[in-house]
Amino acid sequence: MLPCARLCSALRTAIAAALGSVAALPIARADGPPTTVRGIERPAEDPSDAARAIGGVVLYLPRAMVDVAFFATGAAAGVLQDRQVVPRVRDLLFSPGGEIGVFPTLFAETGAHANVGARMIARTGQAATMVRAGYGGSDEVVIEARVRLAARLPLPFALDLEVLHDRSTDLDYLGIGQEPGEDERNLFVGAEREALYREKKTRWIVGLGVRLSDDLELLVSSSLTLRRVDDPPDAGPLAINRVFAPGSVPGASEKTRVFYGEAAVRLDTRATRGAPSPGAIVEGYAGAARGLDPSPPLPGSAAPRGPVHVVRAGGRIAAFVPILSNSNILSPKIVADHLIPASDAPIPFTELTRQPEFRGDDTRRDRTSIVGSLDYRFGIMRYLAGRIFADAAVVGPGPGDVDLTAIRPAGGLGVDFGSVDTEIGQAALAFSPDGVHLHISIGLDSGFGDRQHRD
């Protein structure tokens, strides 16, 4: 047994000595001079870096729009985007203040000049201001300013003051009616059936909205609009006064000043306006417009006529039905607008009813308009929704004179970008018998369909 014990003791001594020498080795090196490393230092590379760089460039605009969305969710900033919408009580109680932001705007549409610019929104508490400027050429300039005060006294209300100056050129005018080329009210003097005109417009608006309940709004507004219409310098044979008989288009080549007042009631049960949300909208309105200048005399007479005076009335009904989930919404909608002459003065063509709800070419004008649509809107990701739509539009001299067999159809697809409460960007591609219509709008008002802001 003795030899075995001695052998084991010797092995333990040898192992301990070996481990001690290994443990001492780093200490000895740490005490020596530092080791010099030679070569070129550069960041580590990954095979996916190039793809990520390309993706960063492509996704720059969506990322920037997300930043805008977070800013625009505030009550005051949000209602500056969704015009004539009164904040709900919860927005007034919990919205923060003291924010200011500047972001780009872009508008591009088939048949129109592209317009780029910037919008600044600032707010403190429940007061908000907005200034916007856009440029698309020497005759494509827009400057707009708004001030809004939103409070609860004792019901939630919003008071708006707005001013707009807009210069636009090469605007289309096809005449009156669903089929202008065949309508006897249009006096063509040549082979052309499409005219162009230039317009300079200045508009002031005062609006007051009161939220009577969580879903019910009462809106009262008035505006004064000054217009100057003439021929574009480069229109040539397409100038409005060369396509139509001189003097046959009221409002062409003259200045008009029109005061318009309107009252509207809107029931909107949706929880949110920007994101797809189930609910319904029922809205009705009535208003009166009156010119401030006498109308031109009748042919062969030197006596001027009284100013133009018209009454407007209409409304909209829309349902938002969830399909499988609340982020997938099927929405049928119908919008009707009617204009009633209240004097014998000719109605300027710029005051006739148009169809901004129609996503094809909005080129028809008359006294009565009906637009129906069916949308399927689905959430793609947070703040981004896709849309598939179909529209049908018709105009006529009156409700009983609308030819439903001549309806113009349009269908297409698009995407909407925005926060929960506010739409900030839209893009849509529509196909109709008039051709393909592309619409892109970023950082501009999507519009809620009120007549004060829509031409």
Given a contact cutoff of 8 angstroms between Cβ atoms, the answer to whether 392 and 408 are in contact is yes
Segment of 27-31, 100-104, 168-172 carrying the highest mean pLDDT: 168-172
Quote the CA–CA distance of 373 and 358 in Å, as a whole number. 8
Amino acid at 221: S
pLDDT at position 156: 87
Q: How confident is the model at residue 408 (pLDDT cuts 50, 70, 90)?
A: very high
Give pLDDT, residue 224.
Answer: 97
Structure confidence at residue 133 (pLDDT): 94
Q: What three-state secondary structure class fits 167?
A: strand
Nearest C-alpha neighbor of 284 from the set 89, 451, 396: 451
Q: How far apart are CA 414 and CA 426, in angstroms?
A: 7
- For residue 127, the model assigns a pLDDT of 84
- Domains of the chain plus CATH, in order, are 51-442 (2.40.160.50)
Q: Which residue has the higher pLDDT, 280 or 70?
A: 280
Question: Which ranges constitute the DSSP H helices of 97-163?
Answer: none
Q: What is the distance in angstroms between the CA of the first residue and the CA of the last residue of the chain?
A: 112
Residue 81 pLDDT > 60: no
98 Cβ partners below 8 Å, 6+ apart? 123, 124, 125
What type of residue is 299? P
Read off the pLDDT band of 7 (50, 70, 90).
very low
- Count of other CB atoms within 10 angstroms of residue 410: 22
Cα–Cα distance, 253 to 217 (Å, whole number): 39
Confidence band of 24 (pLDDT split at 50, 70, 90): very low
Query: What is the structure's pLDDT at 38?
Result: 62
Task: Let me know the angle formed at the C-alpha of 65 by 64 and 71, rounded to the nearest 5 degrees.
Answer: 100
pLDDT band at 294 (very low <50, low <70, confident <90, very high): confident
Distance, in Å, from the CA atom of 208 to the CA atom of 263, rounded to the nearest integer, reads 10
Amino acid 140 reads E
Q: Which residue has the higher pLDDT, 157 or 12?
A: 157
Structure-model confidence comparison of residues 327 and 197, the more confident one: 197
Can you tell me the distance from the alpha carbon of 150 to that of 450, in angstroms, rounded to the nearest whole number?
Answer: 19
Question: 123 with 104: CB under 8 angstroms?
Answer: no
Strands (E), 29-98: none
96: burial class by Cβ within 10 Å (0-12, 13-18, 19+)?
A: exposed
CB 377 within 8 A of CB 363: no
| pLDDT above 50 for 30 | no
Please report, to the nearest 10 degrees, the dihedral formed by the alpha carbons of residues 238, 242, 243, 245 taken in order: 170
User: What is the DSSP code (8-state) at residue 139?
Assistant: T
In the predicted model, what is the mean pLDDT of residues 151-171? 90
Say yes or no to pLDDT of 390 above 50: yes
Q: What is the pTM of this model?
A: 0.77
Q: How far, in Å, CA of 314 to CA of 335, rounded?
A: 8
Residue in the structure block whose two tokens are 């009210």: 185
**H helices present in 136-277, as ranges:** 240-243
Stated as kind and residue range, the H or E segment containing 265 is: strand 255-268
